[in-house]
Amino acid sequence: MRLKKDVIIIGAGAAGMMCAMEAGKRGRSVLLLDHATKLAEKIRISGGGRCNFTNRHTTPANFLSHNPHFCRSALARFTPQHFTALVERHGIRYHEKKLGQLFCDGSSQQIIDMLRRECNQAKVQWQMPCRVTNINRPSARGVGFMLETDVAEFETESLVIATGGLSIPQIGSSSLGYRIAEQFGISVTPLRAGLVPLIFARDQLAQLSELPGVALDAEVSCNTGRFRENLLVTHRGLSGPATLQISSYWKPGSPIHINLLPGLDAKAWLLEQRRSRALLSNVLAQHLPRRFAKAWIDSIKGEQDVAMHHYDDHSLNKIAAQLHDWQIKPEGTAGYKKAEVTLGGVDTRELSSRTMEVRKVPGLFFIGEVVDVTGHLGGFNFQWAWASGHAAGQFA
Ligand SMILES: Cc1cc2nc3c(=O)[nH]c(=O)nc-3n(C[C@H](O)[C@H](O)[C@H](O)COP(=O)(O)OP(=O)(O)OC[C@H]3O[C@@H](n4cnc5c(N)ncnc54)[C@H](O)[C@@H]3O)c2cc1C
């Protein structure tokens, strides 16, 4: 038997549920299917279990894409205020942690329950777990889609792909969305792990071997990205918000530049203390974690940790320059197993920015992380999932 629906959405994550409830509210019959047994695991583990569900300061500049303007329209029509109003209507308490990042006071499960309730009110039907085995265009006119699954066969006018990215395969990410794009001749921009810890080569790790767990406030830059946040030394390299942010801008072979003393004129500060009998590491420890200061000096070629009055101006200038621009060439990233997002995806030139519909395949939509729009850390990725899901939900 073949079941007919107006809209079928593959992927019951953040974008898929938002799209389903919006299409359902318009009176469309909607089926939301997912291969997972547990609903919306990415939302559940997000924000350390509290879901950083949006960012008050969202602008298109918070997103990476081969077409930076693509996200504008959807973001303008469904804003952080719209999502926050929904959260408030459901009585979910939340707080701003920092930099506009909004988190649940309780747990991310509240966001999942809210979306599930909204979908149920909009009479959305669920099918999970459900594995899609084949998709094709049933009619000679090329309208609508036929889906073969391990549960039943389905027919639909509108097919929305909301299968997310490749990160955290342990909880059910898959490449299905990209494969569907390929099947319909839709281009996909190169994929890579983003918002991910950076890994160092063995010799660099040896210099930092005493430091795992040390955190510091730093400004990190690479290519066109620049972020000031916490940097965390790990036993494999660097992590923490500043590292995750810059990882999305890093390309193999590029160095990352770390300003260890942002907001301070290191040269003037060190020169003021050049007659001091204190060790350089003790002076640096006024602004840096002591353990880090010592290891950092040892890592600089030709420098030793001696009393300040032993340094000449030339050496202090050199040290100051390195404090403001410590360069490291990571060997790689920790990969999709540890990444929060996948950079790249369905090429936005293939999609309408108003509807998320594929221009050359009417009735086919792509939303959320599977699209080549990736947010910075801080609630932006969910805001894109809500906004793109909302946009498609008005037209699917
Ligand atoms: C550890 C972690 C923490 C994060 N924290 C935050 C945060 O606090 N704030 C933030 O903004 N972003 C965060 N993110 C990113 C955010 O979770 C994603 O960008 C967002 O979930 C993307 O929404 P989506 O609906 O496109 O995809 P997902 O939410 O990943 O949903 C995709 C759905 O598709 C289903 N699916 C996949 N393949 C198939 C298939 N073959 N058949 C059927 N169904 C399939 C999956 O089971 C899943 O339910 C975090 C990510 C991770 C990994």
Residues of the chain with CATH 3.50.50.60: 2-192+336-393
In this prediction, residue 141 has a pLDDT band, given cuts at 50, 70 and 90, of: low
The per-residue pLDDT for 131 is: 97
Tokens 């621009």 identify what position? 325
Structure tokens at 180: 């569907």
**Best residue for ligand 1 mutational test, from 51, 63, 163, 365 (most atoms within 8 Å of Cβ):** 163
Distance between the two ends of the chain, CA-based, in angstroms?
24
Please give the average per-residue pLDDT across 122-145, as a whole number: 90
DSSP 279: B
In this structure, CATH architecture of domain 198-333: Beta Barrel (2.40)
Q: How many Å apart are CA 121 and CA 340, to the nearest integer?
A: 31
- pLDDT at 69 > cutoff 90: yes
Q: How many Å apart are CA 350 and CA 184, to the nearest integer?
A: 11
The per-residue pLDDT for 140 is: 63
Cβ(221)–Cβ(210) below 8 Å: no
In this prediction, residue 300 has a pLDDT band, given cuts at 50, 70 and 90, of: confident
Residues of the chain with CATH 2.40.30.10: 198-333
Q: Which helix (H) or strand (E) holds 395?
A: none
Residue 116 CB less than 6 A away from ligand 1: no
Residue 176 CB less than 6 A away from ligand 1: yes
- pLDDT at 253 > cutoff 90: yes
Please give the average per-residue pLDDT across 338-360, as a whole number: 98
Report the candidate in 376, 341, 351, 361 with the shortest Cα–Cα distance to residue 73: 351
Beta bridge partners of 153: 2, 148
In this prediction, residue 312 has a pLDDT band, given cuts at 50, 70 and 90, of: very high
- pLDDT at 396 > cutoff 80: yes
- pLDDT, tens digit, for every residue of 196-235? 999 999 888 887 788 899 999 999 999 999 999 999 999 9
Residue 42 CB less than 6 A away from ligand 1: yes
Task: Kindly give the distance from the C-alpha atom of residue 222 to the centroid of ligand 1, in angstroms, as a whole number.
Answer: 26
Report the candidate in 264, 255, 180 with the shortest Cα–Cα distance to residue 218: 264
Task: Kindly give the distance from the C-alpha atom of residue 35 to the centroid of ligand 1, in angstroms, as a whole number.
Answer: 13
Please give the average per-residue pLDDT across 171-188, as a whole number: 97
As a whole number, the mean pLDDT across the chain is 96
Locate the ligand 1 atom nearest the alpha carbon of residue 381 and give its number: 11
What's this model's pTM, rounded to 2 decimal places?
0.96
Match domain 2-192+336-393 to its CATH number in 3.40.50.980, 3.50.50.60, 1.10.3720.10, 1.10.287.110. 3.50.50.60
